[in-house]
Amino acid sequence: MVEIVTMVGLPIDEKLMIKKNRIAPAGADPKGLKRISVVTGIHGDELEGQYVCYELQRRISLEKDKLTGIVDIYPAMNPLGIDSITRGIPAFDLDMNRIFPGNKDGNMTEYLAAGIIDDVRGSDCVVDIHASNIYLTEIPQIRINELHAERLVPLAKAANVDFIWVHGASTVLESTFAHSLNSIGTPVLVVEMGVGMRLTKEYGNQMVDGIFRLMQELGIWGGETIPVRKPMISQNPYDVSYLNASASGLFVPSVKHGARLAEGELIGLIVDPLEGRVLDEVRAPQAGLLFTIRDYPIVDEGSLMGRILKEEVCRYA
């Protein structure tokens, strides 16, 4: 059943509505049922989660009798951003993932954020799906702040991702959707996968398989699920190497995303199209998995071009 989560008035008699679709066993009393919430579209240029929302509902509809709990699907937390292909909230120049938990007595964006938190809180698990930006492609991964690792890592292991990245707090952590809910006891798994403004169907299907396994473990799904992948897990900041451009130019990759690299292996070239020169050779600083790669080829000096997870961590998966 489609419901309005929160709503505000806009100019010229329009309304901005955040909607969800609640799927529940027919005739069941929602009190006492387990609940999973699938959230996406906080950033308007991240569309990978849109496919997940569709495919999850399609598969549930085929075996609706196997559903034993509640599935809440929030496909567009930032509908204005999605409609305008804008990462933030148009006209406000705001990143929506920096205004949580919001304020019912605040401005329009704070009011919307507070309404979202009120509706999602109390879920037994929340899957917050993001894509990368238009510049980078990511393998399916879950990022967890070390403050909540003890509770979230066991859930993340069931989600069928390739990589679980446990890291320290960022300067804006307190204002994110995930941190706001994790801090009040509602567990949130932050998924990063694919690339901005595009769909990667393979990754979407992988994520849907993982959500069904999560639902099964939570007592929300009584049907069959496929075996999930054993993820690589990093809890050490030195496990990841960052590749930054040493010059401005055109990045021409030599390897594919997800490649296993030897130390010193050529990843790509930064070239000068005007004079036909190679400005730099980008090589792997350590052996490991290229789990992030530059997708948009124009780079400036200092631009992030990739991340490598060291080989020792990859071996344990």
Q: Mean per-residue pLDDT for 227-244?
A: 96
Whether residue 171 has pLDDT greater than 80: no
| Residues 182-197: tens digit of each pLDDT | 999 999 999 999 999 9
CATH of domain 237-315: 2.40.50.100
DSSP the chain: -EEEEEEEEETTTEEEEEEEEEE--TT--STT--EEEEEE-SSTT--HHHHHHHHHHHHHHHTGGGB-SEEEEE--SSHHHHHHT-SSBTTTTB-GGGSTT--TTS-HHHHHHHHHHHHHTT-SEEEEEE---SSEEEEEEEEEEGGGHHHHHHHHHTTT-SEEEEE---TTGGGSHHHHHHTTT--EEEEEEE-TTS--HHHHHHHHHHHHHHHHHHTSB-S--PPPP--EEE--GGGEEEEE-SSSEEEEESS-TT-EE-TT-EEEEEEETTTTEEEEEEE-SSSEEEEEEE-S-EE-TT-EEEEEEEHHHHHT-
User: Domain residues of the chain, as ranges?
Assistant: 2-233, 237-315
| Residues 94-140: tens digit of each pLDDT | 999 999 999 999 999 999 999 999 999 999 999 999 999 999 999 99
CATH number of this structure's domain 2-233, picked from the four choices 3.30.450.30, 3.40.50.1100, 3.40.630.10, 3.40.1190.20: 3.40.630.10
Whether residue 172 has pLDDT greater than 50: no
Q: Do domains 2-233 and 237-315 have the same CATH topology?
A: no
| Residues 78-91: tens digit of each pLDDT | 999 999 989 999 87
Whether residue 8 has pLDDT greater than 60: yes
| Residues 245-267: tens digit of each pLDDT | 999 999 999 999 999 999 999 99
Q: Mean per-residue pLDDT for 230-235?
A: 96
Give the percent of the chain with pLDDT over 70.
98
